[in-house]
Amino acid sequence: MSRYNIEIAKGAGFCFGVKRAVQIAEKTADENGGCCTLGELIHNGSEIARLERLGVYPINSPEDLPDGKTLIIRSHGVAQSVIDHINDKGINCIDATCPFVAKIHDIVSKAEGHVIVAGDPDHPEVIGIVGHCKDPNEVTVVRDSDELEKVLNLQDFTRQSALIIVAQTTFNSSKWQSCKKVAKKHYTNIAIFDTICSATAERQHRTEELSERSVLMVTVGGKNSSNTAKLAQISQKHCPVIFTEDGSDIDKAAVSELLPLQGGTVGITAGASTPAYIIKEVHRIMSEILNNEEGFDFMAEVDKTFKKVYIGNRVKALVVAVNKNEAVVDLGTKHSGYIPASELSQDPNADPSDVVKVGDEIEAIVTAVNDAEGTVTLSKKKVDSVLGVEKLAAAMEANETLEGEVSSVVKGGVIIISNGTRVFIPASQTGVPKDGKLEELLKKTVPFKVIEVTEARGRVVGSIRQAKKEANDAAKAKFWETVEVGQKFTGEVKSIESYGVFVDLGGVDGMVHSSELTWNRIKHPREIVKIGDKLDVYVKSFDPEKKRVSLGCKKEEDNPWNKFVAEYHEGDVVDVTIVSITPFGAFAQIIPGVDGLIHISQISTERINNVAQVLSIGDEVKVKIIEINEEQNRVSLSIRALKEEMPEEEEEAAENDAE
C-alpha cells in the first residue's frame, strides 16, 4: 500500500465545557455513590456507557431522580422553567451548563425586544436558550440565512424596541457569517452577538484546513452530535469522509476504496463530545489499516491541548474570528482565547478587522485566565509595544526617519502610532506654529525622528520638525548639486510680493519676477496666482553663493510677439486701446500681450503739450504701424500719419463729425 500520513486536527475532541461537565459528573458519582444527569450528558454513546459504569445515569425528568441522588444539568443547559421546577422541589442540583451557553442565557434573558436564534430548533441547547427569553412569543429560530431572509421579509420588526440575534454555540461559522450579512441588510440597528463557542470556531477552522490537504477525513463522534455532524459537512467539501462513533465500525475494504493510489494525508477530527481515548483508538485502527508503523505518542499530543497558561505568558495565537468587540484566537490549548478590541492596537479608533485577519498568526501576552469558564484574555498591543520600543530604539541609533499616522491630540502634543507603539511628539517638535492648531495634523501620515527612548517605561519621544529639517537640508544639497539653467520644475507658490512670487522647488525657493509670470500686462501678481498654486517653471539663472534662483514661467509658444509679427506689418492700420498715459506719449494694446507706443509727436498734426488732454485710458483709436523693431520687441504707432494721409475735405468732415 502507498505511504499515508495520519494527522489529527488540532483542537479535536473534548472542548472545555464538555470536559468540565464530565469531570463534575465523575467527581459527584465518586463522592455520592452515583448521580444522575438530566438527559444524556454528552452526545456520544460510548462515553455515556463508560459513565454509566461509573454510576452516572441519564434521566428524562427531575421526577425520575432517585431519592438522595444529585441531579446534574448537562452542558447544553435547560430552560429557566426547568431550573425553577428543580428549585421548587428542593432537588440537590449541580449546574454544569457550559459557560458559553450560560452567556447566551444571560443575553436573551435581558433582551427587551424580539430575539432571533440561529441554530437547530430541536437541539437541547437551542430549546434551553428559547426557554430563557422573557416572552416565548418574541423568539424566532432559524436554521440558516435563507430561513432568516424569509422571516425578515414576512415580519416587520421596525416597531420593536430592540432586535437581537444570537447563535447556537456549535452553529456553522460560515452559515453564521451569512446570517449576519442578511440581518445587517434588513436592519442596520440589529444587535448581533457572536456567541459561537470559540472552541467550535477553532475546531471547524482546523478541520477545514486539514481536510483541504487530505485525501481522506475520519470524523469521530456521536451520530446525534450537532457539532460533529458539522465537522463532517465541512470535510466533505474537500475529500471523502468516514463518520464513526468509536472506530469499531470502520471497514478496511471501504477505506481502501476511498484512498488514492499515490498516498497522502489521512486526517482525523473529532467533535466536542469525543473523549481522547476514543480518538486514540481510531488512530490505532487507521494505523493498522494503512500499515502505518511510525511512532506516535497520542497522549503527548492530547496533553499539549490541555497545557496551562499563566498571566504574563507571551504566546503565539492563530486568529479564528474577528468582530467589532474582539478577536477570537486559538492558543493550541482547550482554553478559548479573546483579545478585546482595546487590546489589539494602541490606536483607540482602530477597527479590529483592520488590525488582524482570520488566519493571522500573532503574538500576545496573557492578561487574565478563567479556568472555571475555560477562557483566556490576552493583549496584542502589549507585545507590539515591547517589540515596537525595541525597533524604535534601533531606529534612533541608526538615525532613521520613520513615518506614522497622527492618531490623537493630547496635552502638550500629538500621538503617532508606529510599530504598534505610541510615540509622543511634543508641540514644539510638531512643526506647527505656536498660534497654529495641532488638530490639523490628525489622521495625516508624517515623517518623524525618534529622539528619546526609555525602554523600562516603554516611553518614546519623536520629532516631526527634526525629520522635516533633515529632509529639507538633504533636498537643498541635492538641488545645488544638480541644478542647471533651463531645468524645469513644478513648484508651489509660497509667498507673493508686488515684484514677483516665490516658488518652492523642493527645499529651495526660487523667484519668478512679475514680468516672467505672463505675457500679458498685470499690475500685481495676485491677479493671476495665489499662495498654494502649482506653477510649471524653469531656471533662468542661479547663484549658489547667494542661494538665489531666478525662474521663468512664460512659455515661448505662448509668446504673443510671435503671433504679432506673423500677422501684422509696418504700414498696417489697426484699432487699438489706450492702456497707459506718459508725459512722452501713450501706450496702446494692439493684441493681448503686445503694446505699441504712440509718441506725443505722433498723436496729432498739431502741437500738443499734454497727452492726457487728447487721449484717455480706455479710448479706442485707429492707428498706423509705422515701425516694428523685432530686436527690441518694440512697436511704434501713429495717429498723425493717418490724419496726414486724409484729404482736406475728409479731414474737415471728420472734424465736423467729431464736433
List residues with catalytic annotation: 125
Q: Compute how many other C-beta atoms are within 10 angstroms of the C-beta atom of residue 405.
A: 15
Give the Cα separation of 354 and 344 in Å (integer).
Answer: 10
Sheet holding 241-244, edge to edge: 4-8, 264-270, 216-220, 241-244
Degrees to nearest 5, angle at CA 188 with 182 and 194: 65
Q: Letter for the amino acid at 409? A: V
Instruction: Tell me 411's DSSP state.
Output: T
Q: Compute how many other C-beta atoms are within 10 angstroms of the C-beta atom of residue 383.
A: 17
Residue among 197, 235, 228 at smallest CA distance from 213: 235
Give the Cα separation of 604 and 654 in Å (integer).
Answer: 14
Query: And the C-alpha cell for 402?
Result: 520613520
Q: Letter for the amino acid at 602? A: Q
Q: How many CA atoms lie within 13 A of 113 on its CB side?
A: 14
Give the Cα separation of 525 and 500 in Å (integer).
Answer: 6
Burial of 7 (0-12, 13-18, 19+ CB in 10 A): middle
Give the Cα separation of 558 and 353 in Å (integer).
Answer: 54
Instruction: Tell me 612's DSSP state.
Output: G
Give the Cα separation of 310 and 304 in Å (integer).
Answer: 15
Contacts of 508 (CB under 8 A, 6+ apart): 475, 476, 479, 480, 547, 549
